[in-house]
Structure 1
Amino acid sequence: MARKGENIYRRKDGRWEGRYIADRAKDGRARYRSVYAKSYSQVKQKLQEAKEMVQKEHRIQNLPEAEKPFSEFLYRWLDYIRPRIKESSYVKYVNLIELHIDQEIGAVPLGRLNTEMIDEFINTMLTGKEGMEPLAAKTVTDILGVVRNVIRYINTRYQRLDCDLSQITIKKEESRMRILSREEEEQLIRYLMEYPSPMNCGIFLTLFTGLRIGELCALTWGDIHLREKEVYIQKTMQRIQNKQPTSTRPSQKRMQDQEKEKRTRIIITPPKSRKSIRHIPIPDGVAQILEGYQRYGNEYLLTGKTNSFVEPRTLQYHFKKILQKSRIQEANYHALRHTFATRCIELGFDIKSLSEILGHASVNITLNRYVHPSMEMKRDNMEKLSELIAG
């Protein structure tokens, strides 16, 4: 028998059922849903929670912004953050929104966006679907970060959304960076010494300072102080997509590379973080090699010219050619940075000094990302335990 006024019933199977109005059809007819429990008190509590949730959703869906698509707020957020972030970060966010977020959930009315919907969207990005390959965990993590920021922006400026993303997590992919062995490092040094050039001098500098590729490409002789034997890192170079509209149509006679240049451009900006602006001491041997190429002022290290530079992808290509000629297994340019960090640990550098040389925001980044003890180093450390047996 139903409890009076509560719409709660005892079913034939012994369970209690509570019914409530979930929403209404266009003609005004009520649409019911049910909750179930083993006791009256349990189903009454569930029914109350369900009714409160419906009321909350009803309030959200009837706010002034509720029927506007999520897409509109994605681009409002982009306009809001653009003056506050680096241009490269802005381009990255635009791509994540245009290629993934807007296509999948951009059409959803703001009032109907909820935690479950976003969780399902993130899972689709990770697992893929028909016609779409799964995305890398790092990319999906970046996508989730953008969604979180946009929802935070909406919550503080427009209306509170029923979106709690704190429990949505993404398992990080374990990746191990390639490191040159000591033999490979010696082969590379021999090649660089045998075939001297400004670009090879730059690679040599990276091997003994751990510079990022963009930092090296942006380095000018005004940043290199041979008397003090130090390098001052204050800028980085990168190629980004050109997201600003052009006012003129390209000529039909332009070459394909010129057309590509129109879609992307080189920028030189301060490094990725405040900690990345740093002075790096250079060893005597490296300083002596740099002296052979010394210029002054705004001449780029890799070209010796003020009006000509080497961009990161060109240096990467040059580096891979060197590895082929030196018969060294293929490696990304960033492997030089990992190799430098690992050699420093092997030689007994303290972590704090190494972290500052690398320009990391914290010592933990240095330990977790860049320090890869070799088997030889592990063996040497384990052998120290033999002293306990001898004693």
Structure 2
Amino acid sequence: MARKRKAGDGTVRQRKDGRWEGRIVIGYDDNGYPKTKNVLAKTKKECVEKLQKLKAECGGLKPEKVRPEMAFGDWLTYWYENHSKPKIRPTTQETYESRIRLHIIPEIGDIPLNKLTQNDLQQFYGRLKNSGRKRFTDKYGEGLSDRMVRMCHATCRSALEKAVQDGLIRVNPAIGCKLPPKKAREMQVLTREELQRFLIQAKFEGYYEVFLLDLATGLRRGELMALQWDDLNFKTGVLNVNKQVYDVRGQLQISTPKTKNSVRKIVLPPAVVAVLREYKKTVDSRWMFPSPVKEDCPITPGVVRRRLQLILEHAGCKHVRFHDLRHTFATLALESGMDVKTLSAMLGHVSAATTLDIYTHITDDMRLTAAANIDRGIGKAAPQEDASE
């Protein structure tokens, strides 16, 4: 296995023409996307040497230049590249880079690290909320959402906490800032009548097996698209969930799920196994849901998301997100009597507490029903007067 290069060292790969290519990030454009430079060489060793030379020519922040009076934007870039980026996934990197380059650095990046105050941050969050949106202002208005403001704060707070740990500043000015309230995202679920119409329409449009399996398991979209036939044991009905697929700027990436609990085994209902057995006869691919246009490749997550919206529209159902199919599965499972711990394991949650927190409205209804049943039971068991008396 090739040794992984350190964060910030750039990437080295061999091209199809046999030459070696090295590439480093030298900056970011107005949309937050990285700008790169590359070198070419006949051997890997020569490529690495050229890449090191290019890196030196382009400059960049060196650890010895880290100091308390440096610009907060420089510290934020150094913190992200060396302490945050190596730990997060490519899709998460995009969102971090976007808010750092589009929002944080342009607004407060020039303030010296050791001069940045809580008031600076508080005013910054206020500007984001009132007029911070860079794109789609006609559709969404001038201000950023409460969620984006909180995310910008989380990035600043983490970077400043590292500065405290490294002795560059004494206290973290982000602690104690007032933020927009955290709002739970509204959960939408399909009714049983809508589910029936939806699955009939999905079958008509050739996507029945995809959505049937998702509604029977509550898999995340990336987990569903990453399934291969080897993951399913047709004899036992056990489905192994051990990978996910995600799109990074048009390129599909396969990785292990984000948490240990997301790697799990799910026992499928016999009826679903029977449907998949018949469906397999029509598929000539190792992928359970192969792309119709790309060889040896699963369906792109974005494609199946768009297809969902079309099927919902054609079936006369309300529009829901793909993730709401997962909520629909969980709701039906709880209403059918599945215990929370079992559901938590099926969904790949870290703990049953996470499941309870997300589906508290359903479990509250279940508690009320249970209380009513107990009340009726106690009422029937009320002591009767002794007939002999």
Asked if TM exceeds 0.5, the reply is yes
Instruction: Find 1:287's aligned residue among 252, 255, 273.
Output: 273
Aligned 1:16-35 pairs, distance under 5 A: none
Q: What is the 5 A alignment of 1:133-144?
A: 133-144=142-153
Report the Cα distance in structure 1 between the residues aligned to 2:365 and 2:77, rounded to whole angstroms.
53
The corresponding residue for 1:209 is: 217
Amino acid at match of 1:301: M
1:11-43: CA deviation from partner (whole Å, max 9, x where unpaired): xxxxxxxxxxxxxxxxxxxxxxxxxxxxxxxxx
Query: Does the C-alpha gap of structure 1 residues 67 and 167 become closer, same or farther in structure 2, counting only changes over 3 Å?
Result: closer
The 8 Å contact of residues 214 and 312 in structure 1, kept in 2 or not, is answered as yes
Q: State the alpha-carbon separation in 2 of the partners of residues 113 and 334 from structure 1.
A: 39
Match of 1:94 in 2: 97
Structure 2 counterpart of 1:208, one-letter code: A
Letter in 1 for 2:351: S
Match of 2:258 among 251, 272, 289: 272
Mapping 1:32-111, distance limit 5 Å: 65-80=67-82, 81-111=84-114
Q: Is the 8 A contact 1:222 1:298 kept in 2?
A: no
Post-superposition CA distance 1:206-226 (Å, at most 9, x none): 000001111111111121222
Amino acid at match of 1:157: D
Q: For the residues of structure 1 that align with 2:263 and 2:248, how far apart are their CA atoms?
A: 21
In the TM superposition, residue 383 of structure 1 has moved relative to its aligned partner by: 4.4
What does residue 251 of structure 1 align with?
Answer: none
Q: Any conservation in 1 of the 2:291–2:300 contact (CA below 8 Å)? A: no
SS at match of 1:232: strand
Q: Distance in 2 between matches of 1:110 and 1:334?
A: 40
Deviations 1:177-208 (A, max 9, x none): 1101121122223334x5374x3201100000
Whole-angstrom CA distance in 2 between matches of 1:319 and 1:374 = 28
8 Å contact 2:156–2:174 — kept in the other structure?
no
How has the CA–CA distance of structure 1 residues 117 and 163 changed in structure 2, closer, same or farther, with 3 Å as cutoff?
Answer: farther
User: How many pairs align?
Assistant: 305
1:224 corresponds to: 232
Q: Is the CA contact (8 Å cut-off) linking 2:199 and 2:211 kept in structure 1?
A: no
Q: What amino acid sits opposite 1:100 in the alignment?
A: H
Change (3 A) 1:111 1:267: same
Structure 2: unaligned runs, 5 residues or longer: 1-64, 135-140, 383-389
Structure 1 counterpart of 2:125 = 122
Do 1:316 and 1:333's aligned partners in 2 also have CA atoms closer than 8 Å?
yes
Aligned to 2:177: 168
TM score, norm. by length of structure 2: 0.71
**AA matched with 1:153:** K
Residue 196 of structure 2, aligned match among 186, 209, 213: 186
Q: Secondary structure at the match of 2:251?
A: strand
For 2:193, the aligned partner's letter is E
Specify the alignment match of 2:48 in structure 1: none
Instruction: Name the stretch that deviates more: 141-150 or 364-373.
Output: 364-373
In structure 2, relative to structure 1, the CA distance for the partners of 1:205 and 1:169 (3 Å cut) is farther
Q: Is the 8 A contact 1:113 1:161 kept in 2?
A: no
Verify: 1:356 aligned to 2:365, yes or no. no
Identity of matched residues, %: 26
Q: RMSD of the alignment, in Å? A: 2.9
- The TM-score normalised by the length of structure 1 is 0.70
- What is the distance in 2 between the residues matched to 1:221 and 1:125? 47
Does the Cα contact within 8 Å between 1:278 and 1:359 map onto a contact in 2? yes
Higher relative contact order (CA 8 A, sep 6+): 1
Q: Does the Cα contact within 8 Å between 2:217 and 2:346 map onto a contact in 1?
A: yes
Distance 2:172 2:365 in 1: 50
Deviation at 1:280, TM superposition (A): 1.1
Where structure 1 has 5 or more consecutive residues not aligned to the other structure, the ranges are 1-62, 242-263
